[in-house]
Chains A and B, each alone.
Chain A
Amino acid sequence: MAADHLDDYIDAVSKALRLPVEDAWRPAVRANLEVSLRLAGLVDEFVLPDETEPASVYTA
């Protein structure tokens, strides 16, 4: 996501979730979101079969 779009996205999601993001925090929030999206992208690009079950209810 381009940086300007990311700012728009932060505005939209903070409103939708009723999450305050003060101007002073915004650079750090954006930097953290960039890291999260970059790492999520690593997972996103890994192709899995459609039948793969999520492990959110999990037994080791």
Chain B
Amino acid sequence: MNRELFLHGIRQAIASSPGLRARSALPERPQPPAYGEGRIGQFTGRLEAHACTWEEIETLDALPGRVLAWLDERRIERRLAVAPPLGGLPWPEGVHHHSAPAGIDESVAVSLAFAGIAESGSLAMYSGPDSPITHNFVPEFHLIAIRAEDVCDSQEGVWAKLRARGDMPRALNLIAGPSRTGDVEQTIQLGAHGPRQVHVLLVRAKGGKS
């Protein structure tokens, strides 16, 4: 149906309720939470509550070693889909990594988050050339690096970061833990369609190269 006609129907419905259009003032919203010095503690606490594991690393340069150690401990093959900004890190010889979108058999992805949310322990992934969306959902194991300075108190902090950048990505994925379902007898089971495990690498150093 034509947009004008469609909206006209809605306009008529509003007009037929006297005084309705005058009630359009938006309310004041409650302040989002702020954690001050406790921001990182809140963030990692929520990560754990959502069944993520996490560790701290000093700089991004330490990432390849820690990622491989995590995989080796779990006897997971060293075949990785790696976000383009992390592809140039010092990966050892013989580690098979690529930056293309995830294929159907992709097992491991390593990504860099745009932001973190302390309130809910979520990681915000900004889709684009630096961050394929399929890396977030197809692999069984998802390792996500996030700079401590990019952890915001709340979602509202992420919105502010987006506005400062002036643009929304095509997809902004907020991730809070491994994929799960309660659809069989309300029993929570991890690894429904997306990753079975999510491991977060919190990068302490300010700035740093990527």
A and B: bona fide binding partners: no
